[in-house]
Amino acid sequence: MNATLAIAGATFGEAVRKRILIVILLIALLIILISPAFGPFAGGRGARTLIISFGFGVIQLAGTFIAIIMCTGLIPTEIERRTIYTILSKPVQRYQFVLGKFFGAVGTLGFMYLMMGIVFLIATRLALGEFDGRIIPGLLMFFFQSSLLAAVVIFFSTFVSPLVNYFLSGGVFLLGNLLSSFLETIQRNPEVTPITRIPVQLLTIILPNFANFNVQNPIINPEQVITDPVAYTVQTIAYAIVYIVMLLVLSMLIFNQREM
């Protein structure tokens, strides 16, 4: 456990010093800060919609970029630099290495989300004149979405090159965001046959479903009455944790068998 935490701490320290990640974070913070400037485009409720949806959009996008860019290089860089031999020559198991890398990445994501979240809450408070606590669950869900994405990227990084990983993870994220909407659309269309529907249904079960975490709409449109929001949040977080654990176990299996 100590070894895992030590690797996680080192990963976190290294990640928060990475210039590209700091640049992404600073740009996101700056954009969130200026988001109240969109208010005058639309009056009243329209202003609220613009500001909150824009803020959420920026945070989600920044979180996605940070997760992919940070995690793609976590394991391959260690192999490339040959520092992994030094680490594994110590009493560190390979699974501890993978776990440490993942927890370090999640810690970094948590730190970045905390920064963006605080700035977002301040910006909305200044723009709308009220503190909207409903934003926090939305941010929490995005954090789990990014953590799941980080697990996907780490999983791929155990057997593909970083360049391929960028596209592969990006593709999985895109698909995982669209599949539920696509399934919903075809389920509403009576002309769609089971031959089309069943493969889509299967894919929504197999691939990580990132759309589950996009819960910002009722926060943006507060009149909405959501059915079982607590059950939904708990199940979605449980889903993220189970999927992450599955991906980490798979990563360990692959990484264990990899010759170095």
Partner 1 sequence: MKRNYTALKVAVLALFIVQALLQLRIYPLWARNYAPKQAAPIGLSPDQLLVAVAGFREFLAAILWVRADGFFHSGNYDAILPMLRLVTWLDPHNLDVYSTGAWHMGYNFTDESQRSDRRYIPLALKFLEEGIQNNPTVWDLYFEMGWMYYHKIQDPTNAVPWMRLANEYPDMIPARRHLLAHAYFKSGRFDDAVDWWGKLFLDAEKNRHKDWESSQLYDVRQNNLEDTILDILRRYGPNPETQPPVDLDFDATVKVIRPRVLLVEGRLGIPTIGARVTVILRDKGRTIDYTPKALKTFTFEVDPKFTYMQDSLAVRDEKFRREIDMSKDPKMYPFKAPEYEVEFIFEPRYASPNVQARIGSDGVGMYDARYLEEVREKPSPIEVPKYAKVSDEVRREVENPTREVSYWRVRKVITLTREEILMLGKRGE
Residues that bind partner 1 (CB under 8 A): 41-42, 45-46, 49-50, 52-54, 56-57, 60-61, 64, 174, 177-178, 180-181, 183-185, 187-189, 204-206, 209, 211-212, 214-218, 220-221, 223-229, 231-232, 235-236, 238-239, 242-243, 245-246, 249-250, 252-253, 256
Whether the Cβ atoms of residue 78 and residue 162 lie closer than 8 Å to each other: no
Which lies closer to partner 1 via its Cβ, residue 161 or residue 256? Answer: 256
Which lies closer to partner 1 via its Cβ, residue 12 or residue 148? Answer: 148
CA distances from 59 to 41, 99, 210 (A): 21, 25, 15
Which lies closer to partner 1 via its Cβ, residue 111 or residue 239? Answer: 239
Contacts of 77 (CB under 8 A, 6+ apart): none
**How large is the angle between the packed helices 2-15 and 94-128, nearest 10 degrees?**
50
Which lies closer to partner 1 via its Cβ, residue 165 or residue 209? Answer: 209
Which lies closer to partner 1 via its Cβ, residue 161 or residue 181? Answer: 181
Whether the Cβ atoms of residue 92 and residue 3 lie closer than 8 Å to each other: yes
Which lies closer to partner 1 via its Cβ, residue 12 or residue 144? Answer: 144
CB of 83 to partner 1, least distance (A): 25
CB of 91 to partner 1, least distance (A): 17
CB of 145 to partner 1, least distance (A): 10
Which lies closer to partner 1 via its Cβ, residue 12 or residue 255? Answer: 255
